[in-house]
């Protein structure tokens, strides 16, 4: 089974975490199974950018992003070449290192004006 390293994130995973993953699970599902409460305002159906993550190692082992995911990624804060939506990125056979960006564009979670 591949190992997935979640790098430390101040809010969601302050100490970082290393877990084993069954191939075929999304990064978002895996994070939630291990109490890393990454945001997913749309419920993980590829309708927002709140679960944006950066795959620091193992990017090529993931399934390819489809056009819808790429369209949403274009709107993500801190977009990088190895960015994915965690709800759409499916774990393959290789180890991964995942970074959760510091910020997310989650309008539903913002304070009222």
Residue spans of the domains in the chain: they are: 3-93
Asked if 96 and 51 count as a contact pair (C-beta separation under 8 A), the reply is no
Average confidence (pLDDT) over 25-39? 96
pLDDT tens sequence across 95-113:
999 999 987 765 444 444 4
Please, what CATH class does the domain formed by 3-93 belong to?
Answer: alpha beta
Asked if 46 and 68 count as a contact pair (C-beta separation under 8 A), the reply is yes
Asked if 101 and 11 count as a contact pair (C-beta separation under 8 A), the reply is no
Return the pLDDT at 13: 93
Find tokens 């199974």 and name the residue. Answer: 33
Sign of CA dihedral 40, 54, 58, 60: positive
Burial of 113: CB neighbours in 10 Å, binned 0-12, 13-18, 19+: exposed
Q: How far apart are CA 111 and CA 25, in angstroms?
A: 32
pLDDT tens sequence across 51-95:
999 999 999 999 999 999 999 999 998 999 999 999 999 999 999
Return the pLDDT at 106: 57
Q: How far apart are CA 18 and CA 34, in angstroms?
A: 10
Q: Around 92, how many Cα atoms within 13 Å sit in the side-chain half-sphere?
A: 13
């Amino acid at each position: 089974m591949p190992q997935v390293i979640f790098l430390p994130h101040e809010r969601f995973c302050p100490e970082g975490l290393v877990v084993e993953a069954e191939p075929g699970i999304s990064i978002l599902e895996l994070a939630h199974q291990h109490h890393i409460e990454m945001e997913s305002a749309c419920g993980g159906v590829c309708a927002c950018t709140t679960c944006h993550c950066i795959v620091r190692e193992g990017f090529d082992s993931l399934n390819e992003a489809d056009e819808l995911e790429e369209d949403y990624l274009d709107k993500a804060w801190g977009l990088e070449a190895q960015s994915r939506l965690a709800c759409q990125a499916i774990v393959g056979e290789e180890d991964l290192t995942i970074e959760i960006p510091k910020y997310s564009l989650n309008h539903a979670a913002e304070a009222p004006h």
